[in-house]
């Protein structure tokens, strides 16, 4: 690994630490170096706050003159919520800029680099591009489609069951795997389940980590507003709860949720909620990423609609058996194997006694 990659790796690692908290902005890291000495470093911490380059340049102060800056994403050139970083880099007297990847945002693509070059700064791009792009898959997807990036999460036994024939499911995976689920919940803007899961599991869908964590918006696909008022999602206001219903739900059906200010009812344009319409509606409301936690009917609908960017499967070393015990994906299924959804496995990790497999649909 050469010098540039070494410092870019540091910038990427800083950005990785902020994953999930910068939404709807990308996670970005920056390092300022001169004569082999790190003079400043920083990451974008929260939308609306200073960008990574600003933190690193503030730390370097006047020593930034003649230095090199490493940034994981092309510096912004437009006035967003904060002044353009490209101008800030020029003002600081930076001599050389190493950038991992260009910004996919149409407002920015290539303009930041152009500004730096016009000011006589030497610019190097595509250093550790792939690692930097992996950081902001959600951001790229949402900025170009305005549709939330969807992660489908399942937890099952070795023989592929998500519960016993009597519906008992808690718990199949162990403490460590379930804590990992909460880490992933924290990274997402929203968690989504179907109303049948709400009725069966009575889930809380909050992020319960030892040192806290962000509670995503809790979304229920619920065409006829069957979510029981007594369920934790309605009773406890730990996070907003949005019920996505069809457009013919009656005023009386809506009435029962009026006593809960954290509950909102979103209606799609037709009588039955489809995945496509729900995603379009949620994208319009600024939801950039959704963690879908089932159940089997919802999983099937998401997969059939081609709206899943990532599948996370936890497998516990248990055998449950029972031909009627439920499996992760319901629906009609396919007749011929050639119709199967093909994915590629990105990662397999042991977590406690369980396995976590991250896979992505082949495009």
Binding residues vs ligand AI9 (CB under 6 A)? 155, 169-173, 178, 181, 193, 197, 201, 203-206, 293-294, 314
Closest approach, Cβ 150 to ligand AI9, in A, equals 16
Closest approach, Cβ 304 to ligand AI9, in A, equals 20
Closest approach, Cβ 207 to ligand AI9, in A, equals 9
Q: Using only C-alpha atoms, what is the Rg of the chain?
A: 23
CB contact at 8 A, 11 and 31: yes
Phi/psi region, residue 149 (left: phi>0; alpha: psi -120 to 50; beta: rest), is beta
Whether 53 sits among the annotated catalytic residues: the reply is yes
Residue among 257 and 314 whose Cβ is closer to ligand AI9: 314
Place of tokens 């610019």: 123
Residue among 116 and 325 whose Cβ is closer to ligand AI9: 325
Residues near 82 by beta carbon (within 8 Å), at least 6 away in sequence: 48, 49, 50, 51, 54
Closest approach, Cβ 120 to ligand AI9, in A, equals 54
Residues near 296 by beta carbon (within 8 Å), at least 6 away in sequence: 162, 326, 327, 328, 329, 330, 331
Residue among 103 and 293 whose Cβ is closer to ligand AI9: 293
Kindly name the residue from 37, 53, 137, 276 that is annotated as catalytic: 53
Residue among 22 and 157 whose Cβ is closer to ligand AI9: 157
DSSP of 178-236:
HHHHHHHHHHSSEEEEEHHHHHHH--------TT----PEEEEE-TT----TTSHHHH-
Which candidate, 131, 82, 76, places its Cα nearest to that of 109?
A: 76
Instruction: Give catalytic residue positions.
Output: 53
């Amino acid at each position: 690994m050469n010098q540039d990659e070494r410092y870019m790796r540091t910038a990427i690692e800083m950005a990785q630490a902020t994953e999930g908290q910068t939404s709807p902005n990308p996670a970005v890291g920056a390092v300022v170096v001169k004569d082999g000495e790190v003079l400043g470093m920083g990451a974008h911490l929260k939308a609306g706050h200073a960008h990574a380059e600003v933190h690193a340049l503030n730390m370097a102060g006047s020593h930034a003159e003649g230095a090199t800056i490493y940034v994981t994403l092309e510096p912004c050139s437009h006035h967003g919520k904060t002044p353009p970083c490209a101008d800030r880099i020029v003002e600081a007297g930076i001599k050389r800029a190493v950038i991992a990847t260009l910004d996919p945002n149409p407002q920015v693509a290539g303009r930041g680099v152009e500004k730096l070059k016009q000011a006589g700064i030497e610019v190097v791009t595509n250093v550790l591009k792939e690692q930097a792009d992996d950081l902001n898959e959600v951001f790229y997807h949402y900025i170009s489609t305005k549709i939330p990036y969807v992660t489908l999460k399942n937890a099952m036994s070795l023989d592929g069951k998500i519960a016993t024939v009597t519906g008992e499911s808690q718990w199949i995976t162990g403490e460590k795997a379930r804590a990992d689920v909460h880490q992933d919940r924290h990274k997402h803007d929203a968690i989504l389940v179907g109303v049948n899961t709400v009725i069966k599991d009575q889930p809380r869908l909050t992020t319960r980590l030892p040192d806290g964590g962000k509670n995503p918006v809790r979304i229920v696909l619920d065409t006829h507003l069957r979510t029981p008022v007594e369920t934790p999602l309605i009773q406890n206001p730990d996070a907003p709860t949005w019920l996505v219903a069809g457009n013919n739900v009656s005023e009386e059906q809506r009435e029962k949720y009026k006593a809960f200010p954290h509950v909102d009812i979103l209606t799609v344009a037709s009588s039955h909620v489809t995945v496509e319409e729900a995603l379009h509606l949620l994208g319009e409301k600024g939801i950039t990423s959704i963690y879908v936690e089932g159940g089997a009917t919802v999983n099937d609908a998401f997969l059939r609609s081609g709206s899943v960017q990532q599948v996370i499967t936890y497998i516990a070393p248990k055998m449950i058996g029972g031909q009627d015990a439920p499996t992760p994906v319901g629906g009609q299924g396919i007749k011929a194997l050639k119709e199967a959804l093909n994915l590629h496995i990105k990662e397999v990790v042991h977590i406690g006694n369980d396995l976590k497999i991250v896979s992505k649909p082949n495009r």
